[in-house]
Amino acid sequence: MKSVSQVLSSEFLCSIKVSENIIALFEEDASVPFIARYRKESSGGMTDVQLRNFFERWQYLGELNKRRESILSLLEKDPHATAVIKEKIHAAVSKTELEDIYAPFKKTRKSKADLARDKGLLALAIAIWQGRCLPEEPKVAIWIQQNRMNISSKEALQGAQDIIIEALCDDSDVLKMARYVLLKDGVIQSRVLRGKKQEGEKFQDYFEYEEAVSKAAAHRLLALFRGKKAGILKLNIQLPSERGYPNELNLPHLNNIFEENLSTPSQLSSIQKHFLTLAWQSRLQSKSETEVLNQLKEKAEEGAIQVFANNLEDLLMAAPAGAHRVLGMDPGFRNGVKLAVINEQGKVLDHSVIYPHSPQNQVQQAKQTLIKFIKKYAVPWIAIGNGTASRETESLTKEVIREQVLSCQAIVVSEAGASVYSASQIAIEEFPDLDVTIRGAISIARRFQDPLAELVKIEPQAIGVGQYQHDIKASALSGSLAHVVEDCVNRVGVDLNLASASLLSYVSGLTERLAQNIVRYREEKGRIESRAELKKIKGIGEKCFEQCAGFLRILNGKEPLDQSGVHPESYRLVKQMAQQLRLTSKDLLNNAAAIQQLKVMAPQFQSAGDFTYTDILAELAKPGRDPRPEFKYAAFDHSVQRIEDLHEGMSLEGVVTNVAAFGAFIDLGVHQDGLIHISQLADRFVKDPRDLVRVGQVVKVQVLDVDVKRKRIGLKAQGL
């Protein structure tokens, strides 16, 4: 049996040495961002995504081996656990396979086959299986007479059949092959349950539906399982009759199923195939169907989680507008439009509520308040949430800007999760004296400045960039999304003197407690002047410092390199590089000529490693560079306020709110996202929509069709 490092080396196409290095780093509690960024020599340059997969697979193999040892220990004194069984356990490569082998040994009550064995019918079952006795009552009667048994031939034949069928259904290779053929050749079918058509109208596309299992997309599978859970749909898997199942399960080893005979097995006889057919019809097909449906559900959930994770990453890595004063507006009708002005650092300067829409219709008072806020605080940007009354609020705001000839711009931003933040403990601690609705306006303004810094305060599941998220295991979803947030935060880096505890808690090596300690230290002592000062903070020892220091930035501090992504462990190397050019470390920052010279001098610093040296030069060239794109915003058409205002052929600008395997959803400002189906993204084949569009991207579209009743908008991308 291969070692874990050998298995991982083979699966991830890396050397055994690299595999062992990565495992050792994980065993030392090194984080994925840290290994991906600062241990490239050890990891062979694996990306954070590859390392996440490596880590999950390493954990799985560890759990598999623990379970293997546990099962072997349980079977140690079991007389039925033969050498062949133990050999299979040692060779098992998955938890499913391991449990298939162990299943017959953990029965809680006697089966029909067990009762037949108690009657002494195992010998008859073996005789029939090996062809020494035909499965016919007259032949069985002779066998009974010869063996002086007191049992009817009919009962004996049934008992022998029960033993054979159980042996076939308990064979791990048969179970594996049965699942394989269902996955390979099966067709998943759904039918609406009687009397459920009206109640399950939203599932009408699946009332009479079938699709090859091998081609079923994750989003369609989740829709099917949602319909099944709701009691609307019945699901099953059928096999093509022309393939002649279960003949494809004709595994030669079954010839020796009742003995420890390791000689080369022969093909099954017609009688053996007959019993295999009986096993398939009585138990194997239904059991395998249930297991395959469970596998498909897991696969669909994994697909949905990946879509959610991809969209969340795009949203978190969206372009920040930067350090501007912003007026945040949380729109509403009856409860008014909540206003909050924040400064360049996100501090609240003022707040209010206006009621320009029905039923109050206090338009003039609302305009006066807006004018006062914009002029008093010299606001260059107005960020309007995209929820209820968004377009009406945008129209009013732009009317004020136009009438007063104000030098500011109003844009609509996603308010997904703002209400969740408003009522959260984090928001209460930040703004204990403010109404929950005002906190929402503050969040909208801040996410305009820096989406990442603000969105980390919200549970990822509440941000709303996934589909079917309520059908997915909460633990699996939250774990995956937390990793996405962690990777994004560490990819961008964090200003140590400005970051909130929420943002700091996602930095490699830091916990919520340590993040709070850093914030408390800042409040008591003031500005942190160097990365080295981190070691003075309670709880941050050498190991923690190693993990987090490179991702924390200090602008205008004592050490110039602290503003860059160069890790403190490499400061001595950078100083040596600077000395070679008769410069200081500070002189190397943003010095293109010096960087070019250092590239030529690379052989002199081979001990650093190629990956590390290259990364250092990249950081020196652009210290603290933000990897996020340049800020852009969409200009919505003011003549389009509602879905009824749309018509076929219209060309509009919108913002991508969600990307799924089948296409992209676009906010056009009508309170109902439109869909660009994958086939309408480009005039060429598109395998993955994310190759062309990402959440937050501004796109131009053409309206293909509008279904007001079902609230569906079909779109075609332009210029992608």
Whether residue 718 contacts residue 651, with contact meaning beta carbons closer than 8 Å, is answered with yes
As a whole number, mean pLDDT of residues 273-300 equals 91
Using pLDDT thresholds of 50, 70 and 90, give the confidence band for residue 248: low
Instruction: Supply 654's token pair.
Output: 């919108």
User: Tokens 């503050």 correspond to what residue?
Assistant: 442
* Beta-carbon count within 10 A of 44 CB: 18
Using pLDDT thresholds of 50, 70 and 90, give the confidence band for residue 442: very high
Whether residue 664 contacts residue 681, with contact meaning beta carbons closer than 8 Å, is answered with yes
The DSSP-derived string for 38-95 is: H-HHHHTT--HHHHHHHHHHHHHHHHHHHHHHHHHHHTTT-TT--HHHHHHHHH--SH
Give the per-residue pLDDT at 350: 96
Give the per-residue pLDDT at 468: 61
Separation CA 703–CA 707 (nearest Å): 11
* Beta-carbon count within 10 A of 304 CB: 24
User: Tokens 């309670």 correspond to what residue?
Assistant: 538
Instruction: Supply 589's token pair.
Output: 């920052």
Give the per-residue pLDDT at 416: 82
Q: Which of 511, 528, 591 is nearest to 562 (CA)?
A: 528
Whether residue 620 contacts residue 597, with contact meaning beta carbons closer than 8 Å, is answered with no
Segment 369-398, tens digit of pLDDT: 999 999 999 999 999 998 889 989 998 998
- Tell me the backbone φ, ψ of residue 211, rounded to 5 degrees: -160, 145
The DSSP-derived string for 602-653 is: GGGGGGG-HHHHHHHHHHHHSTT---S---------TT--SGGG--TT-EEE
Give the per-residue pLDDT at 257: 79
What residue type is 127 in one-letter code? A
Separation CA 445–CA 453 (nearest Å): 12
The DSSP-derived string for 85-113 is: HHHHHHH--SHHHHHHHHGGGG-SS--HH
Instruction: Supply 196's token pair.
Output: 């459920």
Segment 655-681, tens digit of pLDDT: 888 888 889 999 887 878 899 999 999
As a whole number, mean pLDDT of residues 560-564 equals 95
Using pLDDT thresholds of 50, 70 and 90, give the confidence band for residue 30: very high
Segment 601-634, tens digit of pLDDT: 989 888 889 999 999 999 999 998 889 988 887 7
195 sits in the region (left: phi over 0; alpha: psi -120 to 50; else beta) called: left
**Cα 50–54–59 angle (5° rounding)?**
150
What does pLDDT average to over the chain?
91
Whether residue 164 contacts residue 275, with contact meaning beta carbons closer than 8 Å, is answered with yes
Separation CA 414–CA 443 (nearest Å): 11
Q: 249 pLDDT exceeds 70?
A: no
Give the per-residue pLDDT at 42: 96
Using pLDDT thresholds of 50, 70 and 90, give the confidence band for residue 22: very high
Give the per-residue pLDDT at 692: 92
Separation CA 720–CA 714 (nearest Å): 17
Inter-CA distances, 173 with 176, 177, 373, Å:
5, 6, 73
Classify residue 446 as exposed, middle or buried by CB count within 10 Å of its CB (0-12, 13-18, 19+): buried
Whether residue 314 contacts residue 451, with contact meaning beta carbons closer than 8 Å, is answered with no
Q: Which of 530, 451, 461, 448 is nearest to 489 (CA)?
A: 451
Determine what percent of the chain is predicted with pLDDT higher than 70: 97
Beta strands 348-354; 187-192: pairing state? unpaired
Segment 79-116, tens digit of pLDDT: 888 888 899 999 999 999 999 999 998 877 889 999 99
